[in-house]
């Protein structure tokens, strides 16, 4: 790379992000997110871990085939079988990359029971093998920030000599701090022969809340690739958030003279989509993409904003794809207005999807005085599909201070209506019990979350439900002005997705059952 100010953006939402417990996405969702990443100008997409499951392999292969711009990368442990499988998946891409790794810190070396020399040999052999398959090879010493510096220099040199074109320095446990992060990259560039021939990458976890700062510091130290995820999704406290590093570089070009190729106006849309499909909502005060990130409520702030937006805003909402005005829609708004509004929010719907959304919009507008942007987003995101095996048709709950609460439900199962009466500890519990009676299953409820989309007692509730069965996880979501109805629809949505997974995979197939720490 000749442009020394260019920072490559490596997105690992579909690998490190999807690997975080409960964030599992369906095949179609992975393809959709990959396409959005490709269109927004991300340089490298880590599409999955092909050896982990048939599902991962299929997703990486298809993403490789569909990508128009980005390099498509797959993850592989330090063994030939993983690397071969990875190559089989990424080889379809216009620009494929194999990413292979091994844990190099004392704690990680102990797991495969390799001494320093044996590990060095393994690195040489596996990187050479990967490079014989693919011209573009990334190598990572996992837990690099807790690896002895001498040994880190030694193994990085071996990987470069064996043909690695990118060396990624992971802060696997989120342990480092900004100055140390910069110094580590600087030290490697200074000491390792051949370091100026390759690109150094930084991969930070957020356990101490420093992932963004550490990644930017690494760039100051000489790294030219940042590994990150949308919304900071990822194992434990997550990874560096793509939107944070990209916007920090854009806004503070005065002190960070770098640039990326990301079209920042696409940030908000992909953030919302990732939140929906992963079932991990974005915290309200999250930098850049949180609901409140551009909200000004105090009188002083509002006054200042009206006089000059720069008084309290360092970037414009439009920079990340938020519309400047929040045009309120109501029951008199027509189809054309809905289409225009949805387009402004980043949704280009096909005619049949628009018709469907319009019916739901009219229904909502009848129940709710004003329909805000967030209501429309929730409405479009309702993901009932024609092929769903279970469909809620009718629900009546009785609740109050003198229990038990009851639910009377009509639910269609494989085309047949079933009428159920159930009781429970509250209306939601009674309704979920009704679904279980109608369609017995052993899936466990892992998460039940309710959010008010807007203010007011007529606000829609969006509900997320996560179910787990035999290691397969599925998330369902729904929105309605009636919280219990939204809850049951979200539960049924999750169940439908679980059934699809049950049909497509053997037990455990979807699970990240491969041990990441296992180098062998």
User: Least distance from C-beta 12 to Zn ion, angstroms?
Assistant: 7
Tell whether the torsion through CA atoms of 395, 400, 402 and 404 is positive or negative.
positive
Q: Choose between 16 and 480: whose C-beta lies nearer to Zn ion.
A: 16
Q: Choose between 205 and 341: whose C-beta lies nearer to ligand KIV.
A: 205
Within positions 170 to 189, which residues make up the interface with ligand KIV, using CB under 6 A? 170, 172
101 binds, among Zn ion, ligand KIV, none (CB under 5 to 8 A by kind): ligand KIV
214 is a contact residue toward ligand KIV (CB under 6 A): no
Q: Choose between 140 and 433: whose C-beta lies nearer to ligand KIV.
A: 140
Tell whether the torsion through CA atoms of 273, 279, 281 and 287 is positive or negative.
negative
Structure tokens at 271: 């953030």
**CB neighbours of residue 469 within 10 Å:** 17
User: Least distance from C-beta 211 to ligand KIV, angstroms?
Assistant: 11
171 is a contact residue toward Zn ion (CB under 5 A): no
510 is a contact residue toward ligand KIV (CB under 6 A): no
Q: Choose between 337 and 514: whose C-beta lies nearer to ligand KIV.
A: 514
163 binds, among ligand KIV, Zn ion, none (CB under 5 to 8 A by kind): none
Q: Choose between 256 and 511: whose C-beta lies nearer to ligand KIV.
A: 511
375 binds, among ligand KIV, Zn ion, none (CB under 5 to 8 A by kind): none
CA dist 345 and 341 (Å) reads: 6
Which residue's entry shows tokens 């439908």?
A: 496
User: Least distance from C-beta 136 to ligand KIV, angstroms?
Assistant: 16
Structure tokens at 278: 């992963």
142 binds, among Zn ion, ligand KIV, none (CB under 5 to 8 A by kind): ligand KIV
Q: Choose between 133 and 237: whose C-beta lies nearer to ligand KIV.
A: 237
CA dist 144 and 151 (Å) reads: 10
489 binds, among ligand KIV, Zn ion, none (CB under 5 to 8 A by kind): none
Contacts of 228 by beta carbon, 8 Å cutoff, 6+ apart: 9, 10, 11, 12, 215, 239, 240, 241, 242, 244, 245
140 binds, among Zn ion, ligand KIV, none (CB under 5 to 8 A by kind): ligand KIV
- Report angle CA 59, 65, 68 to the nearest 5 degrees: 115
481 is a contact residue toward ligand KIV (CB under 6 A): no
Within positions 5 to 24, which residues make up the interface with ligand KIV, using CB under 6 A? 16
Which of 67, 142, 152, 422 is the binder for ligand KIV (CB under 6 A)? Answer: 142
Stretch that binds Zn ion, among 16-24, 352-360, 374-382, 453-461 (CB under 5 A): 16-24
CB 141 within 8 A of CB 176: no
Tell whether the torsion through CA atoms of 514, 515, 516 and 520 is positive or negative.
negative
User: Least distance from C-beta 481 to Zn ion, angstroms?
Assistant: 40
CA dist 32 and 39 (Å) reads: 11
Binding mask 189-208 for ligand KIV (x = CB under 6 A): --------------x-x---
CB 269 within 8 A of CB 36: yes
82 binds, among Zn ion, ligand KIV, none (CB under 5 to 8 A by kind): none
Which of 16, 38, 244, 510 is the binder for Zn ion (CB under 5 A)? Answer: 16
What is the DSSP secondary-structure string of 293-318? TT---SHHHHHHHHH-GGGT-SS-GG
**CB neighbours of residue 478 within 10 Å:** 26
User: Least distance from C-beta 48 to ligand KIV, angstroms?
Assistant: 12
46 is a contact residue toward Zn ion (CB under 5 A): no
Which of 20, 53, 79, 140 is the binder for ligand KIV (CB under 6 A)? Answer: 140
CA dist 115 and 237 (Å) reads: 31
Q: Is the peptide bond before 418 cis (omega within 30 degrees of 0)?
A: no
Which residue's entry shows tokens 């915290």?
A: 283
Binding mask 92-121 for ligand KIV (x = CB under 6 A): ---------x--------------------
How are beta strands 444-452 and 461-469 bridged, if at all?
Answer: antiparallel
User: Least distance from C-beta 15 to ligand KIV, angstroms?
Assistant: 8
CB 51 within 8 A of CB 86: yes
279 is a contact residue toward ligand KIV (CB under 6 A): no
SS3 sequence of 378-416: HHHCCCCCCCCCEEEEEEEEECCCCCCEEEEEEEEECCE
Q: Which residues bind Zn ion (CB under 5 A)?
A: 16
Q: Which residues bind ligand KIV (CB under 6 A)?
A: 16, 101, 140, 142, 170, 172, 203, 205
């Amino acid at each position: 790379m000749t442009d020394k100010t260019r920072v490559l953006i490596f997105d690992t939402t579909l690998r490190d992000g999807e690997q975080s417990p409960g964030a599992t996405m369906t095949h179609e969702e992975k393809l959709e997110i990959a396409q959005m990443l490709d269109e927004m100008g991300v340089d490298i997409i880590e599409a999955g871990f092909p050896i982990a499951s048939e599902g991962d392999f299929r997703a990486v292969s298809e993403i490789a085939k569909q990508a128009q711009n980005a390099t498509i990368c797959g993850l592989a442990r330090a063994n030939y079988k993983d690397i071969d499988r990875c190559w089989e998946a990424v080889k379809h891409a216009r620009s494929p990359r194999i990413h292979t790794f091994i844990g190099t810190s004392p704690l990680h070396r102990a797991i495969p029971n390799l001494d320093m020399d044996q590990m060095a040999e393994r690195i040489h052999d596996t990187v050479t093998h990967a490079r014989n398959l693919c011209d573009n090879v990334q190598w990572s010493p996992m837990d690099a920030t807790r690896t002895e510096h001498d040994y880190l220099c030694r193994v990085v040199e071996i990987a470069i000599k064996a043909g690695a074109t990118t060396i990624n320095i992971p802060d696997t446990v989120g342990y480092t701090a900004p100055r140390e992060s910069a110094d580590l990259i600087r030290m490697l560039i200074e000491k390792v022969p051949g370091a100026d021939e390759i690109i150094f990458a930084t991969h930070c976890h957020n356990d101490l809340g420093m992932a963004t700062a550490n990644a930017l510091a690494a760039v100051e130290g000489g790294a030219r690739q940042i590994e990150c995820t949308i919304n900071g999704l990822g194992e434990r406290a997550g990874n560096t958030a793509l939107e944070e590093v990209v916007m920090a570089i854009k806004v503070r070009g005065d002190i960070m003279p770098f640039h990326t190729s990301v079209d920042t106006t696409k940030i908000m849309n992909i953030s919302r989509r990732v939140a929906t499909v992963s079932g991990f909502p974005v915290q309200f005060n999250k930098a850049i993409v949180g609901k409140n990130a551009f909200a000004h409520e105090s009188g002083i702030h509002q006054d200042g904003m009206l006089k000059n937006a720069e008084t309290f805003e360092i970037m414009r909402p439009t920079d990340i794809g938020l519309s400047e005005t929040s045009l309120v829609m109501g029951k008199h708004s027509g189809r054309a207005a809905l289409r225009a509004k949805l387009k402004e929010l980043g949704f280009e719907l096909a005619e049949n999807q628009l018709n469907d959304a319009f019916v739901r919009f009219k229904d909502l507008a009848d129940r709710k005085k004003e329909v805000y942007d967030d209501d429309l987003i929730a409405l479009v995101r309702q993901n009932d599909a024609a092929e769903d095996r279970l469909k809620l048709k009718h629900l009546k709950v009785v609740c109050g201070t003198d229990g038990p609460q009851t639910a009377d439900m009509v639910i269609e199962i494989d085309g047949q209506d079933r009428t159920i009466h159930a009781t429970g500890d509250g209306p939601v519990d009674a309704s979920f019990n009704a679904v279980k009676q109608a369609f017995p299953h052993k899936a466990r409820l892992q998460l039940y979350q309710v959010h008010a989309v807007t203010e007011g007692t007529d606000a829609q509730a969006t509900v997320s439900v996560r179910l787990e069965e035999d290691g397969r996880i599925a998330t369902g979501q729904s929105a309605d002005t009636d919280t219990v109805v939204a809850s049951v629809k979200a539960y049924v949505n999750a169940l439908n997705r679980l059934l699809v997974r049950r049909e497509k995979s053997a037990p455990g197939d979807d699970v990240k059952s491969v041990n990441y720490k296992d180098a062998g």
